[in-house]
Structure 1
Amino acid sequence: MPATDLKRADAASPGGGDDISSGLDALESPSAPAARRAAKKAVAPLAAIVFVLVVWQLAYALDVLSTLPSPASVAGELGDLWRDGTLLPALGHSLERCVFGFAASVLVGAPLGLLVYRYALVRTVIAPVLSAFQSLPAAALVPLAVIALGESESAVYAVVLLGAVPSISMGLASALDQIPPLLRRAGVTMGATGLRAVRKVLLPAALPGLVSALRQGWTFGWRALMTAELITATPLPGVGQVLNAGKESASFTLIVAAVIVILAIGVLVEALIFGPIERRVLRDRGLTGPK
């Protein structure tokens, strides 16, 4: 059809070329400004915080639990911990331990998960041990580490490793098990064998499951660290020692303040690190839309 006829057809149709051009403009323009998207994402967490504070204040006002401190008193306790120089160093020590412990857990757990996936003998011998440690409470790991290594930083790191490595290994092995066999055979056909297959086929295909395994490993490691700090006396006090100080002094306010700090770190790590990474990985695979 000649170009002039196309122009007449566009002009004759309802909306004509304006509809087409506006549709293209809508596709090319961003769905919403970044500030608006960020504000939208913040609504749900802020609403949840407000809800918890309202329920907490009502429970305190109605004297549902006689020992329950008020939100204001807990906020004052956190302010006192900040002003006397206790909160920030304790938080820094705990985060440093968990970050380094988590990094070491990834370096140990990821290759171990690959071995469990690749070799039947390793799966038969090692997988039950990893599953057993995965179900073992962190409080049971602390005496083992203390007896073997004494009340030291090494014992704390050992507890973090024992808490995080099984989750990362078994999570990665499970994600690799779910890779379609056809994809693996296609990789072999194209020359992807050995470490090349791991880098080019297996890990990219298992990436969503790997992210979930890393998230779970961080969660188990953080919980194990708090348990280790609560029980073990180390030269550098962490948030767990603050929690223990509240227990020793029978200060419910200090205990609740420490628990809030522990929960806040977990929520922030999820919201700022693992949540965005998971959404990006899933969106790149067309499994979910941008949120």
Structure 2
Amino acid sequence: MKKRSLKATVIQELLFLAAIVVLWQLIYMVGVDGLSIWKAYAMPSPAGVWESFVDLMSDGSLLSAIGYSLLRGAIGYAISLVLGGILGILMNHFGFLHRNLRPLVMGVQTLPSVCWVPFSILWFGLTQTAIVFVVVMGSAFSISIAVDNAINNVPPIYKKAALTMGANQKQIYRKVVFPACLPELIAGMKQGWSFAWRALMSGEVMTTSIGLGQTLITGRNLADINQVMLVMVVIVLVGIFIDQAIFRTVEKRVLRKRGLEN
């Protein structure tokens, strides 16, 4: 029954997406070819996006762009996990930092990632390091806030019980706090990845390095709206794939291990 329901869900989702594509093509045909509401160069179409996909796949440029972007995103995200995790633990452990530093961190997190681009160019030039810097600054603060919130939401009775059993601070964090807040930590990591992936695009558009951001800018420079739209679709699909293949899988495994999901 579960396999049938999963298969039916997949078919339903595919049919829904197919209906959206058909509707999109019809709107394009009516608005561009029929009523001339939009110019062809300003309105993407599914057929045009598909042609751009075939062209970029034939010379391997799209796959290269995806690969380089994923590599930079993974490096920046890994650094963000370390820095954000340490900062979140420190803010939670020390009351002075929680009261004074956390509001500042939350304020900085509201900055759009593109705000860090001038700093990255001035400090690192048009290099790979500059792109990774933008990714880190775009996601580390979000992760630190998520870590702080996750630890705060652990019931205090857990810590008190561990203390009465003779546990020290290190054991409390390792044996009690982190296992208890693991589901919320995973949710925070997932949110951090979304910030990192979005920040990566802001960083890539400023260089000539191969990547999805640069491929998007190339489409803009060529006035190729279909290539621009193709890159936007690829960015969304890669984000969905990472979420479902990695974070959702880990999340389901943790919940199943705790008996919270079948």
Task: Give the counterpart of 1:109 among 81, 84, 87.
Answer: 84
**CA separation in 1, counterparts of 2:238 and 2:216?**
15
Give how far 1:124 is off. Answer: 2.6
**CA separation in 2, counterparts of 1:129 and 1:146?**
24
**In the alignment, which residue of structure 1 is the partner of 2:10?**
42
Q: 1:86 to 1:286 in 2, by over 3 A?
A: same
Secondary structure of 2:69's partner? helix
Per-residue deviation, residues 66-92 of structure 1 (Å, max 9, x unmatched):
432221110110110011221111111
**In the alignment, which residue of structure 1 is the partner of 2:115?**
140
Matches within 5 A, 1:180-191: 180-191=155-166
Give how far 1:285 is off. Answer: 3.2
**CA separation in 1, counterparts of 2:227 and 2:247?**
29
Secondary structure of 2:48's partner? helix
**In the alignment, which residue of structure 1 is the partner of 2:34?**
none
Q: 1:94 to 1:177 in 2, by over 3 A?
A: same
Give how far 1:128 is off. Answer: 2.1
Task: Give the counterpart of 1:168 among 125, 140, 143.
Answer: 143
Secondary structure of 1:62's partner? helix
Matches within 5 A, 1:92-241: 92-230=67-205, 232-234=206-208, 236-241=209-214
Give how far 1:273 is off. Answer: 1.3
Gaps of 5+ in 2: 32-36
**CA separation in 1, counterparts of 2:61 and 2:55?**
9
- Between stretches 271-280 and 180-189, larger displacement belongs to 271-280
**CA separation in 2, counterparts of 1:41 and 1:276?**
18
In the alignment, structure 1 residue 259 sits paired with structure 2 residue 232: yes
Give how far 1:41 is off. Answer: 5.0
**CA separation in 2, counterparts of 1:174 and 1:51?**
41
**CA separation in 1, counterparts of 2:12 and 2:104?**
40
What is the TM-score when the length of structure 2 is the normalising length?
A: 0.91
In the alignment, structure 1 residue 271 sits paired with structure 2 residue 244: yes
Secondary structure of 1:197's partner? helix
- Give, as a single letter, the amino acid of the residue that structure 2 aligns with 1:148: W
**CA separation in 1, counterparts of 2:132 and 2:147?**
22
Task: Give the counterpart of 2:26 among 38, 52, 58.
Answer: 58
Q: 1:41 to 1:113 in 2, by over 3 A?
A: farther
Give how far 1:49 is off. Answer: 2.0
**Which protein has greater RCO, CA pairs closer than 8 Å, 6+ apart?**
2
- Between stretches 40-49 and 202-211, larger displacement belongs to 40-49
Identity level (%): 35
What is the TM-score when the length of structure 1 is the normalising length?
A: 0.82
Question: How many residues were matched structurally?
Answer: 255
Q: Where in structure 1 do 4 or more consecutive aligned residues deviate above 4 Å?
A: none
